[in-house]
């Protein structure tokens, strides 16, 4: 891939978004509810509660299950490690990619055969609040494969070496 402004070959692109403090209301145009950064609720049924001692290994397993190769998994974890490691316990969840893509769509010239978007939300949970998230904490025993269904990963296309694939990964720390 070539960066057009200076003509340099690059392996990946990087971008950051800033959340506006103005609240917006998204009207759903069907069964897909667009991700709204101003409404970042965690529920026991769609989140995982985990202690910091287990977080990095869990993330590596989850990202592998979502189709990220070693370099992407390592970059993801290294990027988020400083923010995550400030907390003893966190709640985390991966967003459905079709929900996220409605909020921040990509336009790529030379359309890829598949675009996979892996976006994680996480937030600190105090130790005295952790018991309130029993269902989310117990979810760790389910392993990581259930995230494929939540994110909507196309495993067949992700595994096809002959396809032009784009992987977009990111995350956001939710503050109270």
Residue 26 has what pLDDT? 47
Residue 64 has what pLDDT? 96
Residue 23 has what pLDDT? 42
Strand 48-51 versus strand 89-94 pairing type: antiparallel
Residue 45 has what pLDDT? 83
Residue 133 has what pLDDT? 86
What tens-digit pLDDT sequence spans the chain (176 residues)? 677 788 887 666 767 766 654 444 445 455 677 777 666 688 888 899 999 999 999 999 999 999 999 999 999 999 999 999 999 999 999 999 988 888 888 888 889 999 999 999 999 999 888 888 888 888 888 899 999 999 999 989 988 989 998 999 999 999 87
Side-chain half-sphere of 168: how many Cα atoms within 13 Å? 21
Q: Name 42's Cβ contacts closer than 8 Å, sequence gap at least 6.
A: 91, 93, 121, 123, 136, 174
- What is the pTM assigned to this prediction? 0.84
Q: How far is CA 174 from the centre of its chain?
A: 13
Rounded to whole angstroms, what are the CA distances from 24 to 30, 33, 85, 98, 157? 18, 13, 31, 19, 34
Side-chain half-sphere of 67: how many Cα atoms within 13 Å? 23
Tokens representing 97 are 């990619």
Backbone phi and psi for residue 6, each to the nearest 5 degrees, phi listed first: -120, 0
């Amino acid at each position: 891939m070539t960066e057009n402004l200076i003509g340099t070959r690059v392996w990946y692109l990087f971008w950051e978004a800033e959340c506006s403090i103005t609240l917006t209301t998204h009207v759903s145009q069907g069964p897909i509810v667009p991700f709204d950064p101003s409404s970042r609720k965690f529920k026991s049924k769609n989140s995982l509660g985990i202690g910091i001692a287990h977080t990095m290994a869990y993330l590596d397993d989850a990202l592998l299950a979502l189709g990220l190769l070693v370099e992407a998994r390592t970059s993801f974890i290294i990027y988020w490690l400083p923010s995550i490691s400030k907390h003893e316990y966190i709640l985390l969840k991966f967003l459905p990619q079709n929900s996220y893509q409605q909020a921040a769509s990509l336009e790529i010239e030379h359309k890829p055969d598949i675009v996979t978007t892996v976006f994680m939300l996480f937030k600190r949970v105090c130790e005295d609040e952790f018991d309130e998230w029993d269902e989310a904490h117990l979810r760790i025993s389910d392993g990581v494969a259930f995230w494929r269904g939540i994110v909507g990963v196309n495993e067949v296309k992700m595994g096809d070496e002959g396809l032009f694939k784009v992987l977009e990964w990111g995350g956001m720390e939710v503050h109270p």
